Amino acid sequence: MNGTHDDGAGPGPEAYDATPFLPARGGMPAHRRAAADCRGCPLFENTTGTVFGRGDAHARLMLVGEQPGDQEDREGEAFVGPAGRLLSRALRDAGIDEDEVYLTNAVKHFKFTQDETRKRRIHKAPSLRETLACRPWLLAELRLVSPELVVTLGATAGRALLGPSFRVGTDRGVPRPLPDEGNGAGNGELRVLATVHPSAVLRAGGGGDREELYAGLVADLRTAADAL
Ligand code: URA
Ligand code: SF4
């Protein structure tokens, strides 16, 4: 999957790919700086900026969301909006110290549509093509942090690391080896555990559905903590 686009977009000048923007060397700070200037796909347009990962750069546990939301885009920091607050609570309830994890997103720019009044920016899921374009940043973070386990939150992150046929409904909750595919991030020992996205819990509204989804998220995070 690395460097190729299997959704019909062949290589060529129009190919989306962050690879040319990655620094040849350097650690997390060099990557963060370089990512600020990424033009690997059109999502950098109309946003405030790149939202790179945050947290412990040597964490044993890394969590991968979908993409920054409205608030994350404005503040330049991952998971600081409503989904981030819910995730913080779920981590606490699972007995995980948020200061000891590395938090990032599969896609580093906010994708949105405007409502009729152009006052509100409404989240739009990134395409597979955009997700694959941004994947080199995610693989670089995986290589730099070198966690023991990575938790994917929702479908986009799951597809980014487990392949386009990933389905959260059937593939969640069980640690498994990260498929290598020669991507340089899978070191043979790195495991991945998929779960739902905190936004899915928020979207479920009030009542029993929401409680059940939240309990499932916490249970999966607890499985992740126990697997370390
Ligand atoms: N949703 C995500 O997936 N990531 C964020 O940073 C915020 C909301
Ligand atoms: Fe680059 Fe990713 Fe932003 Fe696209 S979404 S411009 S690939 S950082």
Q: Which one-letter amino acid corresponds to residue 187?
A: N
**Is 221 a domain residue?**
yes
Ligand 1 — pocket residues by CB below 6 A?
A: 65-69, 72, 78-79, 81, 83-84, 105, 199
Could you tell me whether strands 191-195 and 176-177 are parallel, antiparallel, or unpaired per DSSP bridges?
antiparallel
**Is 126 a domain residue?**
yes
**Is 155 a domain residue?**
yes
At 40, list the tokens.
């690997």
**Is 128 a domain residue?**
yes
CATH value at residue 163: 3.40.470.10
pLDDT at 7: 45
**Is 12 a domain residue?**
no
Ligand 2 center to 95 CA (angstroms) = 33
Q: Give the CA angle between residues 186, 31, 12 to the nearest 5°.
A: 75
The CA-atom distances, in angstroms, between 31 and each of 3, 16, 27, 53 are: 18, 19, 6, 10
Q: Per-10-residue mean pLDDT for the chain, 228 residues long?
A: 42 81 97 98 96 98 98 98 98 98 98 87 95 97 95 97 92 89 61 97 88 97 97
How much is the pTM? 0.92
pLDDT at 13: 53
**Is 5 a domain residue?**
no
| Residue whose tokens read 């939150």 | 153
Ligand 2 center to 135 CA (angstroms) = 9
**Is 202 a domain residue?**
yes
Mean pLDDT, the chain, rounded, equals 91
Q: How big, in percent rounded to 5, are the helix, strand and coil portions of the chain?
A: 40, 15, 45
How many independent structural domains does the chain possess? 1
CA 49 centroid distance within chain: 16
* DSSP state, residue 21: G
pLDDT at 184: 56
Dist. CA 161–CA 183, nearest whole Å: 10
At 104, list the tokens.
């990032």
Ligand 2 center to 218 CA (angstroms) = 30
pLDDT at 101: 98
What is the domain range of residue 99? 19-227
pLDDT at 93: 98
